[in-house]
Structures are given as C-alpha cells and as structure tokens.
C-alpha cells in the first residue's frame, strides 16, 4: 500500500551552527555533495510558475549555473513557462536529493539574462541540442512526432551549409532568490528545516518545526 511506504532518514543533520550564513554558499555545498554522491541528475530542479488563471504549473528544468546573484536555467521563451514568467516573474524551485536525504526550496524573481550570455551558452551545447532548440515549437500543439522529426531534418540540412546561431526565442533566465529553505531528513520525522528570508538586503535565519 502506498500509505505504508516510508523512509527513516538518518544520514546527516543541519543545525543553526553548521549551516552557512550565506544561503548561496549552503546551496553550492549541497549541490557539490549531491554531485560527488552520484545523485542522478543532481542539477534537476522543479520550477513552478503561475498561469493566467492564477494556478501553479510545475515541471523539471536543469540548473546550468549558480552565481552570487542567483540560479540560471535555459528554455524556449515562447514555451508555457516562458509566457507565464513574462506575465508574472514570481517563481519557485525545489531540489530533492534522495541520496543525501535533502531538499531545498527557493522563491524568487525570474528575469532574462543578456542575449550575449545566452548565445555563449547555446554555442557551447552539443550540435544535436542546438538543432533541437530550433526544431521544437515548445508547448505548442503538434499533429504527431513526425512534425519534430521533419523540423529536425530540415534544420540539420540548413545548418549544414550555414553557421548555426541561437534561436531568437531561446535563452536563459536568472532567478534572484528572496527565500531559501534547507531541509535535512532526520529520524522519527523530526526533520531539520532552516529558512533564509531576505529583508532589507539581509538574510534572516530561522529554524522551522517539521
């Protein structure tokens, strides 16, 4: 039965003394430990946006860079998430790493990065991924798989004789965090939860009951 599935977390702890006072550094530390611990897809994060009716929508995207300003990911600006961010820049993301029994929740404001930075990242991608960005009218209704295959073949042939560039509708977003919550699984469901709330450019740190 689903109700009988449970895990008793007991690998690590997180306390007010051990947590880094800079949430970006704490996130970077946990990311590195997720990577070194061979967590599958350690950079995968669930991105939630708000649609035109005020309903949340979530999907998995990949973190491509963590800077002192925030989290960067790339997508099609004409996709559902791109259109929703254009209308409402408030977003949230969630990381979950089962191997280290950790979760991080982040809320913030998403904004487009510069076209030059998007272009630089696009040109660093494998050719197949570059062609895929051109071939997919992301989030649009299509008749069948054949549409994608034909688009891919057409762009593959076109860029065989032309220099490939970033599609104008594709690029990166920077999420500027205003809130972090670090969750460390503990035994008996008494998990450690430490939040960081941004107030007047200062991070206020609190422990939350599980």
Tens digits of residue pLDDT in 94-129:
999 999 999 999 999 999 999 999 999 999 999 999
Going from the C-alpha of 78 to that of each of 50, 118, 156, 176, the distances in angstroms are 15, 15, 22, 21
Strands 44-50 and 56-62: antiparallel
User: Domain for residue 161, yes or no?
Assistant: no
User: Domain for residue 140, yes or no?
Assistant: no
User: Domain for residue 163, yes or no?
Assistant: no
User: Domain for residue 182, yes or no?
Assistant: yes
User: Domain for residue 147, yes or no?
Assistant: no
Q: How many domains does the chain have?
A: 1
Residue 85 maps to which CATH number?
2.30.110.10
Residues of the domain holding 204: 7-125+168-208
Summarised one tens digit per residue, pLDDT across range 68-92 is 999 999 999 999 999 999 999 999 9
User: Domain for residue 195, yes or no?
Assistant: yes
Confidence of residue 7 (pLDDT cuts 50, 70, 90): confident
pLDDT at residue 16, as a whole number:
95
Q: Are 210 and 191 in contact (CB under 8 A)?
A: yes
Residues designated as active site: 189
Phi, psi angles (nearest 5°) of residue 105: -110, 135
Phi, psi angles (nearest 5°) of residue 63: -70, 125
User: Domain for residue 145, yes or no?
Assistant: no
> How many C-beta atoms surround the C-beta of residue 79 within 10 A?
18
User: Domain for residue 90, yes or no?
Assistant: yes
């Amino acid at each position: 039965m689903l109700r009988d599935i449970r895990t008793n977390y007991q690998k690590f702890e997180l306390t007010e003394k051990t947590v880094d006072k800079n949430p970006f550094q704490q996130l970077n530390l946990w990311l590195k430990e997720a990577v070194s611990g061979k967590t599958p897809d350690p950079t995968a994060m669930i991105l939630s946006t708000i649609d035109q009716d005020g309903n949340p929508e979530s999907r998995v995207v990949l973190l491509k860079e963590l800077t002192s300003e925030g989290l960067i990911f790339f997508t099609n600006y004409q996709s559902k998430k791109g259109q929703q961010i254009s209308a409402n820049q408030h977003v949230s993301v969630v990381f979950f790493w089962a191997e280290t029994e950790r979760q991080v929740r982040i809320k913030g404001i998403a904004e487009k990065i510069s076209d030059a930075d998007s272009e630089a990242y696009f040109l660093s991608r494998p050719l197949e991924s570059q062609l895929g960005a051109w071939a997919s009218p992301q989030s649009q209704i299509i008749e069948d798989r054949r549409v994608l295959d034909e688009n891919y073949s057409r762009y593959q042939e076109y860029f065989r004789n032309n220099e490939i560039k970033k599609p104008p509708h594709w690029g990166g977003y920077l999420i500027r965090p205003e809130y972090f919550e670090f969750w460390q699984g503990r035994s008996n469901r008494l998990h450690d939860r430490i939040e960081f709330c941004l107030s007047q450019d200062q991070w206020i740190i609190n422990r939350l009951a599980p």
